[in-house]
Amino acid sequence: MFEFTEEQKMMRETVRKLGIEKLEPRAAEVDRTGEFPWDLMKVLAENGILQLPLPEEYGGINADTTTLCIVSEELAKYCNTSSFVICIQGSNMKVISAGGNEEQKDRFFKRLSSGDEITAFALTEPSGGSDVGAMKTRAVRQGDNYILNGTKCFISCGSVAHIIPLFAYTDPGKGLKDGLSAFILEKGTPGFTIGKKEDKLGARGVPASELILEDARIPVENLLGEEGDGLEICLSAINITRLTVGCHTLGIAQGALDYAIGYAKERVAFGKPIASFQGIQFKLADMAIQLEASRSLLYRTAFMSDKGASGIERLSSMAKCFAAEVSVDVTLKAVTVLGGYGYMKEYPVERKLRDAMCSLFMEGTGEIQRLNIARFILG
Ligand SMILES: Cc1cc2nc3c(=O)[nH]c(=O)nc-3n(C[C@H](O)[C@H](O)[C@H](O)COP(=O)(O)OP(=O)(O)OC[C@H]3O[C@@H](n4cnc5c(N)ncnc54)[C@H](O)[C@@H]3O)c2cc1C
């Protein structure tokens, strides 16, 4: 059994208040315009939320996985973009912690401590997101620099981020395990440009872009770890990010259920509130069961991860896969509870359905999670 600490409960209340007062009022507009909401980032930074995963000496609280999950879930109830950005920040701070030397941690953590700068994570390429080994980006050492050529795609916040962990082959002949390296790509790097910005179904406040590297010069002091450490560094954050992304999509769906409950109590059909019909009650009950099951798996795994328990990789794959699929189902059910109004942009549930769908792909698709899980259960 697990229980949140008093600090975690307080954090949840703080984030909830911020979500209701400052974030939710902007969420529909951010979705409509598709413009990255720097004003909301300022709110998150001023309240120390953006910096939570940083060590204390850099203004963070070295937030554990459970705390990051709580914050991701709570933010997502009110604002998809804010929660999405926290998942990315949490992931990248872990990447820098895992792969960076003391000088690199100091250099990048100092910049992230102000809350003015954000990060992106650049792995996927047009040659295939699931098949990471098929990536084509190459990094060749030339004096004090690495020269990088290649294209990353679908990179969330890539066009607005300042600090971007990026993966490239330094020795393709050695394959993914020993040939891949991790770098920090900085905004303004010569030879680095932003390519196509995707026009997405949901999560529209988080830009997803191509990052184009044409003889981009990354200084050797931005290599994380040693050459060939890329895969290990990449995997260092993945279990945690699967859980925060799982809680992110859980929060979206919980927000949809909360809205649907309120609506069902108000909307009258055949002379009665629709909440009095068993057909609607059963649907709402099913949604609540699905989310509670998802929450249990996510937080149990997060709690085990914070305790240093084994088996986290298998459980985090299960939790993320389950949470994403449940959230899409629950948000779709929420749309149907609102009837035709659920389909209209005037109501928030259609947006939540579109936002929840994004989690089907983040941190690996359901098929890739199932392959991972099957690998474990088949030994
Ligand atoms: C909105 C959004 C934001 C994203 N943000 C980022 C980001 O910030 N950084 C980043 O690096 N990437 C990001 N991605 C990329 C994401 O991780 C990939 O889309 C995902 O890994 C799938 O890769 P793909 O799109 O190339 O699909 P493909 O790998 O081409 O897969 C296509 C289909 O085939 C299935 N498939 C593939 N291989 C197998 C197999 N062996 N067995 C069974 N089925 C298989 C897949 O599950 C999928 O259904 C983002 C994607 C989206 C949609």
CA-nearest residue, atom 21 of ligand 1: 129
Residue among 196, 360, 365, 367 to mutate when testing ligand 1 (max atoms within 8 A of CB): 365
Look at residue 17 and tell me whether its pLDDT is greater than 70: yes
Closest C-alpha residue for ligand 1 atom 38: 130
Enter the pTM of the model.
Answer: 0.97
Q: Does domain 132-228 have CATH number 2.40.110.10?
A: yes
Ligand 1 centroid distance, CA of 275 (Å): 39
Q: Is the CB of 368 under 6 A from ligand 1?
A: yes
Say which of 29, 325, 363, 367 is annotated catalytic: 363
Rounded to the nearest whole angstrom, what is the distance from the C-alpha of residue 93 to the centroid of ligand 1?
Answer: 23
What average pLDDT does range 351-377 have in this prediction?
Answer: 97
pLDDT given at position 210: 98
For 64-99, what is each residue's pLDDT tens digit?
999 999 999 999 999 999 999 999 999 999 999 999
Share of the chain above pLDDT 90, in %: 97
Query: What average pLDDT does the segment 148-170 reach?
Result: 98
The CATH architecture of the domain made up of 232-377 is Up-down Bundle (1.20)
Is 363 catalytic? The answer is: yes
Q: Ligand 1: distance of its center to the CA of 368 in Å?
A: 9
What mean pLDDT, rounded, does the chain reach? 97
Q: What pLDDT is recorded for position 128?
A: 84
The neighbouring-strand residues paired with 192 are 213
* Domain 6-113 belongs in CATH node 3.40.50.2300: no
Dump pLDDT digits (tens) for 245-303: 999 999 999 999 999 999 999 999 999 999 999 999 999 999 999 999 999 999 999 99
- Per-domain residue ranges of the chain: 6-113, 132-228, 232-377
Please determine, for residue 318, whether its predicted confidence score (pLDDT) is greater than 80.
Answer: yes
pLDDT interval class at 1 (50, 70, 90): low
The Å distance, Cα 128 to ligand 1 centre, comes to: 7
